[in-house]
């Protein structure tokens, strides 16, 4: 993230159209400050959606690691055998 993408709230108020164009082109977030403190982050929708997808995948990985640690696993051969069995049932 570029440190030059830190702007006061007055910039957001006065240059909204320019901000939309810039963030859409650069995909870099904009940090908005109020009274010298960072208060919010503005980002384009593409980057926002990509972050949401990444977070969802990380949650799935964390859940998988937790299940492995708890011993909630099955050998791959058993899983594939069960899938084959279900496939055969569907084809009957």
* Dist. CA 84–CA 82, nearest whole Å: 5
The answer to whether the pTM exceeds 0.85 is: no
**Token pair listed for 1:** 């993230």
Identify the CATH number of the domain defined by range 3-43. Answer: 3.40.1620.10
**Helices and strands per DSSP (H, E), number in the chain:** 4, 3
pLDDT tens profile 17-66: 999 999 999 999 999 999 999 999 999 999 999 999 999 999 999 999 99
| Cβ contact 36:9 at 8 Å | no
Domain boundaries, the chain: 3-43, 47-90
pLDDT bucket at 92, cuts 50 / 70 / 90: confident
């Amino acid at each position: 993230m570029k440190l030059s993408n830190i702007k006061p709230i007055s910039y957001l108020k006065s240059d909204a159209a320019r901000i939309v164009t810039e963030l859409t082109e650069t995909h870099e977030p904009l940090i908005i400050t109020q009274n010298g403190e960072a208060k919010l982050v503005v980002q384009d929708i593409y980057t926002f959606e990509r972050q949401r997808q990444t977070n969802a995948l990380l949650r799935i990985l964390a859940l998988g690691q937790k299940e492995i640690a708890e011993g909630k696993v099955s050998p791959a051969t058993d899983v594939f055998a069960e899938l084959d069995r279900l496939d055969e049932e569907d084809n009957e």
